[in-house]
Amino acid sequence: MKRPATILLLPSVTILGAFFVLPLIWILILSFLGSSPTGEVVGEFTLGNYARFLTDSYYLTDLLWRTIRLAAVATLFSVLVGYVGALLIVRADPAAQRWMILLVMLPLWVNLVVRTLALMVVLGRTGPLNQLLVGLGIADRPLQLLYNETAVVIGMIQVAVPFVVMAIYGVLQSIPRQLEHAAMTVGATPLAAFRRVTLPLSVPGILAGSVLAFGINIESFVVPILLGGGRVRFMSVAAYETATVSNNLPFAATIGIILLVVAMALLGLYQWAVRSAGRAAPALQAG
Amino acid sequence: MHKTILGTTLWYLGTLAFYVFLLAPLAILVAVSFNPVAMVFPPQGFTLAWYGTILEKPDFLHAAFASTLLGVMTAVICTGFGVLAAIGLRRYDGPLKGPITSLLMAPLFIPAVIVALALFQILFMMGILNNIWTLVAAHVVVTIPYPVRNVMAQLEGFEGSLEEAALSVGATPRQALLRVTLPLLKASIIPSLIITFVLSWNNYTVSVFLASKDWVTLPLQLRAYLQYEYQPFVAAMSTMLIIASVVLLVLVDRTVGLGAMRKRG
Amino acid sequence: MGQISVRDITKVWGAFDALKHIDLDVREGEFLSILGPSGCGKSTLLRIIAGLEAPTSGQIHIAGRDVTRDPVWKRRIGLVFQNFALWPHLTVFRNVSMGLELRRLKKDEIRRRVLEALRMVQLEPLAERLPSQLSGGQQQRVALARAIVLKPDVLLLDEPLSALDKNLRQDMQVELKTLQQTLGLTTVFVTHDQEEALSLSDRVVVMDRGAIGQVDVPEAIYNRPASEYVARFVGEAFLFRGIVSGSGARPMLRLPDGTSVPVEGERLQTGREAVAFVRPEWVELEPYDVHSHTGAPRGVIDRLMFFGQTSDYLVRVADRQLRVKRRPDGPALSPGNDVALICKARVLAAQVDAA
């Protein structure tokens, strides 16, 4: 049976080898190659690209740190909104739940450019949000809501929330409602019962949801381009522009590799931190 | 349970607020597409004229054709490869089982923008960028984990003896595969085809790196219009894409159920 | 008015009446069982007393207070759930202490009371374990400790033993009863197991499709059931239908086949139709003898089952089968033998009035 198994695996392993592994190895190598002022690749080993990135405060703070910071802020809000959404769904009438889930998943099926465009209309100078703010007297004239960090964060939250909802919904669903009722019989108000029972038991969902959201946000590409309007610099966009506009391939590769390493390291660190915090309190095992 | 009127009201308001946050932008965009004047909400009138304008844009029609062709090719190749790989992984018991499984899932964990960047770099080097096949290959690479995962999940539920039973009545391994395993896998193949199609159809990141002038896809074309012609016909185009997504979503929900469709956009 | 008083409680779900005008008083310190098949409304009644379910109409008083509109967390009740509902992320100690923490008691008082409660259920050494590390019986005790540590006004138990296997269940019954008596806790115990209800309770409530069938001490429920339903649900009953005959001193029930059974019961009226029943251990079997057994009901032994101290004889009487529990020291009987049934049947009170 061994031969047919290898044959079955061959097509996908080949295509992944050629169009996934090889290119990744190639940009790793490329990131250590020099480039001439015109962007030509120079075939000699250098740490210059990394040195350039890591010594220039523009790249470090304006680009890398901004990317991490915006992704983290958006993740925090995505988890908050997503948790509330998941809780609202899980506590809804079972017949309604199916529809509520369908509506949460709907945006995932709509093209990201379309969704971002929708936010551009909402946040625009003449858009409904500005009309609301002026109408309520919160602002006396329309605010610049687009093309800044807030707009990018709002966009990232919009994108990440459905994923967070699905991750947390799955966990919340597995927690029997009776555990909260039991807390109420010993004197807990519904809020106290939620805080002492459901919330700690849903930590695995929060963890999964935030890892998912951060992973999506840090590689966000369409959102910073459209909602940042070129004013909000972002790692993924910088890598794209360096490669296609300035044609500095080695440096674009360096930005890509740094983004990859930082994203992996932060996610690893986060999961490790949550796990070890969880170990101090007893392990969670619902049901 | 004792429910207070205040609590129940707050609960419903919360649900409403959540869905407004999630869906109102899309609804507003649809409404704007009927605005005869400008990309402004609420519309200052009602017209379907922008939908007519779409048909007069040859680049839009071309992009729709390109996206559909790309989506179908990606779906068929990706699902085909994925099904074979999933069956292969189940049969294969060599030392490389772990690494191969990780490889097949890896595109889920590496940011798509980095995969696209890497592909762009290597193809640029080799001078073979202007080509639909490289675009298809790139789309297949970033979507292949989904069919592999779907089919493997379904295979787990099978008794391993089903194929052995076929062999015992005289079928060759090839016949057993064609007559027993593949028909049983229909329930995971169809969702895989749809997922991979939708992912490819909606993909922006990979396409923007690799697509040439001849193969501008819908998301790229939409973005191009946004830059140069910010008018309600863009909203009309978006509305048509939204409708297509809703139709697909409902279709999937009615046929195979969304449970089989856990995906990461 | 008792420690718990249930006044005219009704619960309607759509078109289904789950509870129909229930009135019930539970006396202070009493162990009261609510017995019935699944779907009879017994758990709903308990959840209404606990406050986990709101009644459609009616009132609940606990310890003299009208709690009908009070939410669960203000009712001062202890509730043990069928599947225990222990918090899986908290240790045994923290499971028991949560109620005290919520009352903002001092740390050392919490510790003292939790350990005291755990000692009562013999779980003190396992205080730092998680529920998942405990056996079913131990989890049951934690649930019990969690309920009693707050010294509640009433203890409510929702089929707490049904998740345990048979031997463990018997041990837990004894412990539960001992604990309840030591603490003098007013206890309402919901179960579908009639043996459990009879052996543990001061009084038993038998429920039938959302209404109360009978409330009485276990002995009365078993020996003097108020209806055919109660007779059949509590223990095994073999029913005779016939017409009351014979004089006041020795009443008989004349059966359709011409035989007669001696009966007992209150206010029997000659000539009236009535239903009487016997329990398996009320009947003595004798080899049928034409002379001495004329007019007595007769049957044929179908099968014999040996259980050690007693044996069960399955006897076919007309088309029906009757189980007789019998010590093996009487005359030897085997399958196929003709037997006479020697017994005194009990007339169901309700049937007499209904006729």
Taking contacts as CB-CB distances below 8 angstroms, the residues of chain C near B2 are: 51, 54, 69, 71-72
Instruction: Report strand pairing: C252-254 vs C238-245.
Output: antiparallel
Q: Which residues contact B115 (CB under 8 A, 6 or more apart)?
A: A20, A23, A24, B107, B138, B141, B142, B206
My answer on whether C221 and C242 are in the same domain is no
- What residue numbers bound the domain in which C247 lies? 236-354
Q: Is A88 on the interface with B (CB under 8 A)?
A: yes
Q: What percent of chain A has pLDDT over 90?
A: 68
Q: What is the pLDDT of residue A278?
A: 64
Question: Is there a contact between C81 and A197 if contact means CB atoms under 8 Å apart?
Answer: no
Interface of B with C in 161-220 (CB under 8 A): none
In a domain, residue B145? The reply is yes
Contact B111, A259 (CB under 8 A): yes
Q: What is the pLDDT of residue A202?
A: 93
Domain end position, chosen among C230, C262, C278: C230
In a domain, residue B101? The reply is yes
Helix (H, G, I), strand (E, B) or coil at B128: coil
My answer on whether C36 and C154 are in the same domain is yes
Q: What is the pLDDT of residue B204?
A: 93
Q: What is the pLDDT of residue C310?
A: 85
In a domain, residue B46? The reply is no
Q: What is the pLDDT of residue A70?
A: 96
**Which pLDDT band, with edges at 50, 70 and 90, does A89 fall under?**
very high
User: Taking CA atoms, what residue in A is nearest to C49?
Assistant: A185
Cβ neighbours of C57 (radius 10 Å): 13
Q: What is the pLDDT of residue C270?
A: 83
pTM score, whole prediction: 0.86
Buried b (16+ CB within 10 A) or exposed e, B224-253: ebbeeeebbbbbbbbbbbbebbeeebeebb
Domain end position, chosen among C230, C257, C284: C230
Residue type, A224: P
Q: Measure the CA–CA gap between C314 and C152, rounded to whole angstroms.
A: 48
My answer on whether C317 and C288 are in the same domain is yes
My answer on whether C41 and C118 are in the same domain is yes
Interface of B with C in 1-30 (CB under 8 A): 1-3
Whether the predicted pLDDT of A171 surpasses 90: yes
My answer on whether C112 and C77 are in the same domain is yes
My answer on whether C58 and C170 are in the same domain is yes
Helix (H, G, I), strand (E, B) or coil at B114: helix
My answer on whether C280 and C297 are in the same domain is yes
CA distance C188 to chain B (A): 20
Q: Which of A124, A118, A151, A229 is nearest to B235 (CA)?
A: A118
Question: Is there a contact between B141 and A19 if contact means CB atoms under 8 Å apart?
Answer: yes
pLDDT averaged over chain B? Answer: 85
Taking contacts as CB-CB distances below 8 angstroms, the residues of chain B near C54 are: 1-3
My answer on whether C225 and C320 are in the same domain is no
**Dihedral sign computed on CA atoms, order A9, A14, A20, A25:** positive
Tokens of B186: 């229909």
Q: What is the pLDDT of residue C1?
A: 58
Contact A41, A35 (CB under 8 A): yes
- What residue numbers bound the domain in which B138 lies? 59-215+244-261
**Which pLDDT band, with edges at 50, 70 and 90, does A276 fall under?**
confident
Q: What is the pLDDT of residue C353?
A: 44
Q: Measure the CA–CA gap between C48 and C61, rounded to whole angstroms.
A: 11
Cβ neighbours of C28 (radius 10 Å): 13
B203-233 per-position pLDDT tens digit: 999 999 998 888 899 999 999 888 887 888 8
Taking contacts as CB-CB distances below 8 angstroms, the residues of chain A near B218 are: 111
Taking contacts as CB-CB distances below 8 angstroms, the residues of chain A near B163 are: none
Average pLDDT over residues B57-71: 90
User: Taking CA atoms, what residue in B is nearest to C68?
Assistant: B2
CA distances (Å), origin B196, targets B99, C22, C242 = 23, 60, 77
User: Taking CA atoms, what residue in B is nearest to C50?
Assistant: B1
CATH code, domain with C253: 2.40.50.140
In a domain, residue B235? The reply is no
User: Taking CA atoms, what residue in C is nearest to B4?
Assistant: C71
Whether the predicted pLDDT of B15 surpasses 80: yes
| Interface A:B, Cβ pairs < 8 A | 253
User: Taking CA atoms, what residue in C is nearest to A181?
Assistant: C52
Angle at C126 between CA C123 and CA C128, to 5 degrees: 135
Q: Measure the CA–CA gap between B23 and B25, rounded to whole angstroms.
A: 6
Dihedral of the alpha carbons of C26, C28, C34, C39, in degrees to the nearest 10: 60
Q: Is A139 on the interface with B (CB under 8 A)?
A: no
In a domain, residue B188? The reply is yes
Q: Which residues contact A206 (CB under 8 A, 6 or more apart)?
A: A79, A83, A168
Q: For residue C26, what are the β-bridge partners?
A: C4
In a domain, residue B14? The reply is no
The packing angle between helices B232-255 and A112-123, to 10°, is 130
Domain end position, chosen among C182, C200, C230: C230
**Which pLDDT band, with edges at 50, 70 and 90, does A101 fall under?**
very high
Tokens of C275: 């239903």
**Which pLDDT band, with edges at 50, 70 and 90, does B256 fall under?**
low
Tokens of B94: 């060599």
A33-69 per-position pLDDT tens digit: 887 776 677 778 889 889 999 999 899 988 999 999 9
CA distance A273 to chain C (A): 19
Interface of A with B in 159-188 (CB under 8 A): 159, 161-163, 166
Q: What is the pLDDT of residue B159?
A: 57
Tokens of B203: 């993909």
Q: What is the pLDDT of residue C354?
A: 41
Question: Is there a contact between A109 and B117 if contact means CB atoms under 8 Å apart?
Answer: no
Q: Measure the CA–CA gap between C99 and C85, rounded to whole angstroms.
A: 14
Interface of A with B in 203-262 (CB under 8 A): 212, 215-216, 218-219, 221-222, 226, 236, 239-240, 243-244, 249, 252-253, 256-257, 259-260
Contact B223, A223 (CB under 8 A): no
Cβ neighbours of A258 (radius 10 Å): 21
Q: Measure the CA–CA gap between A189 and A195, rounded to whole angstroms.
A: 10
The full set of domains in chain A, from first to last, is 50-286 (1.10.3720.10)
DSSP assignments along A179-215, one per residue: HHHHHHHTT--HHHHIIIIIHHHTHHHHHHHHHHHHH
Question: Is there a contact between B1 and C69 if contact means CB atoms under 8 Å apart?
Answer: no
Radius of gyration of chain A (CA): 23
My answer on whether C304 and C324 are in the same domain is yes
User: Taking CA atoms, what residue in B is nearest to C70?
Assistant: B2
B28-43 per-position pLDDT tens digit: 999 999 988 888 888 8
Contact B132, B71 (CB under 8 A): no
Q: Measure the CA–CA gap between C210 and C56, rounded to whole angstroms.
A: 13
Whether the predicted pLDDT of B169 surpasses 80: no
C54-94 per-position pLDDT tens digit: 999 999 999 999 999 999 999 999 999 999 999 999 999 99
A175-202 per-position pLDDT tens digit: 999 999 999 999 999 999 999 999 999 9
Cα C25 from chain centre: 17
Q: Which residues contact B208 (CB under 8 A, 6 or more apart)?
A: A240, B116, B220, B223
**Which pLDDT band, with edges at 50, 70 and 90, does A20 fall under?**
very high
Helix (H, G, I), strand (E, B) or coil at C13: strand
What is the complex's ipTM, to 2 decimals?
Answer: 0.88
A64 DSSP assignment:
I
My answer on whether C253 and C223 are in the same domain is no
Regions of chain C short of the pLDDT cut 50: 350-355
The total of structural domains in chain B comes to 1
Residue with tokens 């592994």: A21
Average pLDDT over residues B242-264: 72
Q: What is the pLDDT of residue C304?
A: 86
My answer on whether C225 and C251 are in the same domain is no
Tokens of A164: 């967070």
Contact C107, C141 (CB under 8 A): no
CATH code, domain with B158: 1.10.3720.10
Question: Is there a contact between B111 and A162 if contact means CB atoms under 8 Å apart?
Answer: no
The total of structural domains in chain C comes to 2
My answer on whether C201 and C260 are in the same domain is no
| Interface A:C, Cβ pairs < 8 A | 75
Helix (H, G, I), strand (E, B) or coil at C272: coil
**Which pLDDT band, with edges at 50, 70 and 90, does A283 fall under?**
very low
Tokens of C78: 């202890």
**Which pLDDT band, with edges at 50, 70 and 90, does A284 fall under?**
very low
CATH code, domain with C225: 3.40.50.300
Helix (H) or strand (E) holding C61: strand C57-62
Contact C164, C136 (CB under 8 A): yes
